[in-house]
Amino acid sequence: MTRVYAVRGAVTVDEDTREQIVERTQTLLKELISRNQVDTDDIVSIVFTATDDIHSEFPAAAARLMGIDGVPLLCARELDISSSLTMARCIRVLMHFYGGERPQPVYLGETARLLDAPDPV
């Protein structure tokens, strides 16, 4: 049965450079798409958040550069909450897509610790 799913993912960058923002965001998106067997034509929308220390590029630009067109993309700031598992230079993704199976989140590098949180944010 095909329905709309949402899947989450996160990645960090070592430096706030355009090259790293694009490369790491594309790596994350490719892994989300691969792991969840998503055809890019089945993507409904993608929401990106970034921590306050990212200024070099919009993470959504990485999606456009890899050919994800005709899909609404939105970038926003991650809330700076003192009690959260916030990490430096972090990009998070919430991708909505049509699919047939429960999605698998992707947390790359140090963001893998978000999976151990009671309610990963």
- The CATH class for the domain spanning 3-114 reads alpha beta
**pTM score:** 0.91
Please, what sign has the CA dihedral across residues 79, 81, 83, 86?
Answer: positive
3-state secondary structure of 7: strand
Overall average pLDDT of the 6-16 stretch: 96
Domain limits of the chain? Answer: 3-114
- Per residue in 104-113, pLDDT (tens digit) is 999 998 888 8
Instruction: Work out the average pLDDT over 9-33.
Output: 97
